[in-house]
Copies of this chain bind each other. A is one copy, B any other.
Amino acid sequence: MRKLLLFSLVVFIMNSAYSQESDEKVIEKIFDNVLVSNEAYNNLKHLCKYAPGRLIGSEESVIAVHFMKEYLEKLGVDTVFLQEFETPAWKCNHISIRMLLGDTEINLRADALGPSPSTPEKGLIANVIEVQGIEDLKSREKSEIEGKIIFYNRPVDMTFINTFRVYGSAVDQRYYGPAVAAELGAAGVLVRSVSTRVDTFPHTGATGFGEKRIPCAALSTVDANILSDALKIDNNLKVKMIIDAEDIDIITSFNLIADIVGNEYPDEYIVVGGHIDSWHNTDGAHDDGAGCVQSADVLRIFKELGIKNNRTIRVILYMDEELFQKGGTSYAEYTEENNIKHYMALEADAGGFSPEGFTVDASDSIVEFISGYRKILEPYGIYYIKKGGTGVDIEPLKKFGVPLMGYRTNPHRYMDLHHSAYDTFDKIHPRELQLGSGCMAAMIYLIDKHGL
Contact = CB atoms under 8 A, between A and B. Distances in A.
Interface of A: 31-32, 35-36, 158-159, 161, 163, 196, 354, 379-381, 383-384, 410, 412-413, 429, 431-432, 435
A427 to B, nearest CB: 11
Contact of A432 (B36, B412, B435): B412
Contacts of A354: 410, 412
A161 B31 contact: yes
6 contacts: A31-B159, A32-B159, A35-B161, A36-B158, A383-B384, A412-B435
Given A383-B383, A431-B196, A159 B412 contact: no
B32 A161 contact: no
A163 B163 CA distance: 25
Number of copies: 2
A114 to B, nearest CB: 28
Contacts of A163: 431
Contacts of A410: 354, 410
Contact of A161 (B158, B159, B379, B384): B379
A158 B380 CA distance: 13
A117 B401 CA distance: 70
A376 to B, nearest CB: 13
A109 to B, nearest CB: 21
Given A36-B158, A159-B31, A159-B35, A413 B429 contact: yes
A346 to B, nearest CB: 21
A314 to B, nearest CB: 28
B36 A161 contact: no
Contacts of A380: 161
A276 B196 CA distance: 29
A218 B278 CA distance: 42
A186 to B, nearest CB: 31
Contacts of A31: 159, 161
A161 to B, nearest CB: 6
Contacts of A381: 161
